[in-house]
């Protein structure tokens, strides 16, 4: 392992770009934190890379295992390869085919379970970890993962001229959200409004908030499989009770339309999981929340965390267009 990767982790400092199209739509400056530019295509490398480094530095691991909807697995496989650790990635059946190939290309062992939700893959990963003596890398529920993700906020602090008017992000199990909240507290931005976006059928955080209890979704019915954890992590549920946190849900169609518009306007192809966040702008949700008095009128600058996603390419986009618009 090189000295540099030891100091800086495996992630890169991502570009922060002003979006002309979104700024025009919102009537305020919208900036894009381009996590799609990370190695393996999503923010996941921040937290997962940090955790894998921790595991490697203890010199006690025989290898790592990660259950994943796709991106956490790709980040684990990438970091493990750099650290010379064997990696096993367990995927649910719903994960697009292209992910398994990418994982194998990173040298990981891939197991696909029969269940279609991430939770099914997780049960199998825990079982295998026990039998094979592997270290579990959780895709979202671990303080080291949150710590790694919190670096996003430190980068924002270093490059934004002022405190964000709001931050928009996607929630699967809530790891990204926990990391951002931790980072906001650390830089003294703890009262910045945070808009948590999910898709209908992968909306575990919204479901729990409505129930006022950390309950489990009966099933994952969204095509945004990377948001498909049936239950949010406890820490995400705790953070979501803060008054500056808003939880909202969009349909798969709204997320897809956002992915398409983003590709047209910004020339970057992202996953539906990321489309959920982009839809907050493109579907008119943010102005509606402002009218309802749930978000302040002056948002300058509105930060969109473009979480990205490596489980997307043109054939996969065409597949989703067919399935969602059928």
Residue whose C-alpha is closest to residue 303's, from 291, 318, 286: 286
| Cα–Cα dist 164/171, whole Å | 19
Residue 23: both structure tokens together: 């700024």
Please report where in the chains the tokens 């579990």 appear, as a residue: 136
Residue from the set 80, 214, 226, 317 that interacts with ligand PLV by CB under 6 A: 226
Residue 125: both structure tokens together: 């990963």
String marking each residue 186-225 x if it binds ligand PLV according to CB under 6 A: ----------------------------------------
Q: Does residue 307 touch ligand PLV according to CB under 6 A?
A: yes
Q: Does residue 176 touch ligand PLV according to CB under 6 A?
A: yes
Residue whose C-alpha is closest to residue 69's, from 106, 134, 119, 142: 119
Question: Between 45 and 295, whose beta carbon lies closer to ligand PLV?
Answer: 45
**In the sheet that 87-91 helps form, which strands lie side by side, from edge to edge?**
109-112, 87-91, 64-67, 135-136
On whether the CB atoms of residues 257 and 282 are closer than 8 A, the answer is yes
The count of chain residues that interact with ligand PLV, using the rule CB under 6 A, is: 28
Stretch that binds ligand PLV, among 99-107, 246-254, 258-266, 271-279 (CB under 6 A): 271-279
String marking each residue 70-109 x if it binds ligand PLV according to CB under 6 A: xxx-------------------------------------
Question: Between 117 and 286, whose beta carbon lies closer to ligand PLV?
Answer: 117
Stretch that binds ligand PLV, among 15-23, 244-252, 290-298, 303-311 (CB under 6 A): 303-311
Q: Does residue 279 touch ligand PLV according to CB under 6 A?
A: no
Q: Does residue 170 touch ligand PLV according to CB under 6 A?
A: yes
Question: Between 217 and 307, whose beta carbon lies closer to ligand PLV?
Answer: 307
Where in 110-139 is the site for ligand PLV (CB under 6 A)? 118, 139
Least distance (Å) between residue 5 CB and ligand PLV:
22
| Cα–Cα dist 171/218, whole Å | 17
Least distance (Å) between residue 109 CB and ligand PLV:
16
User: CA angle at residue 200 from 168 to 35, to 5 degrees?
Assistant: 35
Where in 30-49 is the site for ligand PLV (CB under 6 A)? 42, 44
String of DSSP letters for 90-150: EE-TTS-HHHHHHHHHTT-EEEE-S-SSHHHHHHHHHHHHHHHTPEE--SS--HHHHHHHT
Cβ within 8 Å of residue 209, ≥6 positions away: 237, 240, 241, 247
Residue ranges that bind ligand PLV, judged by CB under 6 A: 42, 44, 68-72, 118, 139-140, 170-177, 226-229, 271, 273-274, 307-309
């Amino acid at each position: 392992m090189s000295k540099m990767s030891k100091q800086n982790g495996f992630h890169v400092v991502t570009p922060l770009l002003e979006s002309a199209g979104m700024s025009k739509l919102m009537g305020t400056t919208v900036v894009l934190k381009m996590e799609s530019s990370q190695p393996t295509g999503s923010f996941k490398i921040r937290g997962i890379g940090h955790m894998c480094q921790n595991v490697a530095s203890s010199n006690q691991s025989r290898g790592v295992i990660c259950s994943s909807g796709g991106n956490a697995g790709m980040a684990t496989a990438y970091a493990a390869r750099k650290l010379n650790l064997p990696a096993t990635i367990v995927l649910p059946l719903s994960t697009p085919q292209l992910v398994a190939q990418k994982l194998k290309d990173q040298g990981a062992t891939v197991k696909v379970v029969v269940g279609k939700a991430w939770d099914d893959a997780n049960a199998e990963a825990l079982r295998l970890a026990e039998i094979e003596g592997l270290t579990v890398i959780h895709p979202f529920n671990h303080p080291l993962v949150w710590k790694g993700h919190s670096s996003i906020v430190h980068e924002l602090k270093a490059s934004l001229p002022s405190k964000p008017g709001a931050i928009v992000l996607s929630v699967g199990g809530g790891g990204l959200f926990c990391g951002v909240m931790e980072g906001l507290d650390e830089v003294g931005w703890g009262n910045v409004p945070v808009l948590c976006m999910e898709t209908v059928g992968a909306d575990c955080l919204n479901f729990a908030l409505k129930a006022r209890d950390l309950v489990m979704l009966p099933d994952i019915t969204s095509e945004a499989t990377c948001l498909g954890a049936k239950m949010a992590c406890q820490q995400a549920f705790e953070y979501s009770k803060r008054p500056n946190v808003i939880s909202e849900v969009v349909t798969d169609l709204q997320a897809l339309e956002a992915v398409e518009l983003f590709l047209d306007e910004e020339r970057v192809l992202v996953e539906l999981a990321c489309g959920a966040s982009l839809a907050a702008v493109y579907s008119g949700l943010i102005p509606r929340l402002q009218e309802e008095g749930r978000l302040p009128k002056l948002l300058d600058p509105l930060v969109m965390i473009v979480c990205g996603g490596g489980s997307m390419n043109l054939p996969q986009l065409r597949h989703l267009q067919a399935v969602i618009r059928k």
